Amino acid sequence: QVQLVESGGGLVQAGGSLRLSCAASGRTFSIYVMGWFRQAPGKEREFVAAIRRSGNTYYAESVKGRFVISRDNAKDTVYLQMNSLKPEDTAVYSCAADRAVSTDPTADYKYDYWGQGTQVTVSS
């Protein structure tokens, strides 16, 4: 089993920045891909960013150039640095872990473990 705990959400003005953290515990050696997803009220959950154990990264078009995903393997922690935030970035952000080596990192159904989520609110 793997446990994921997110932190770092909050309220920020448009144009501001936030950094989300996702700390993994348990059988972390089994994780190959870590991802961030978000869900706004009344909308479906959508892919934000992902990073493989190899370091390869993936981003949704809507956040490319503004968000950066990174990982600290020594701390079993993944980060999402969010810059130039927009009101449309407002959502609950959740991190997820996938044990599969070959997978589509943008597909939420591929992930095996999920955190509880952290609220990000961007005011205009």
User: What average pLDDT does the segment 7-12 reach?
Assistant: 96
Residue 101 pLDDT: 76
Cα distances (angstroms) measured from residue 21 to each of 4, 42, 43, 44: 10, 25, 23, 22
Count helices and strands (H / E) in the chain.
Answer: 0, 11
Paired tokens of 121: 């609110």
Query: Which pLDDT band holds residue 117 (cuts at 50, 70, 90)?
Result: very high
The whole-angstrom separation of Cα 107 and Cα 111 is 8
Question: What is the tens place of the pLDDT at every residue in 58-100?
Answer: 999 999 999 999 999 889 999 999 999 999 999 999 999 998 8
Q: Which residue has the tokens 């009101």?
A: 87
For residue 31, the model assigns a pLDDT of 85
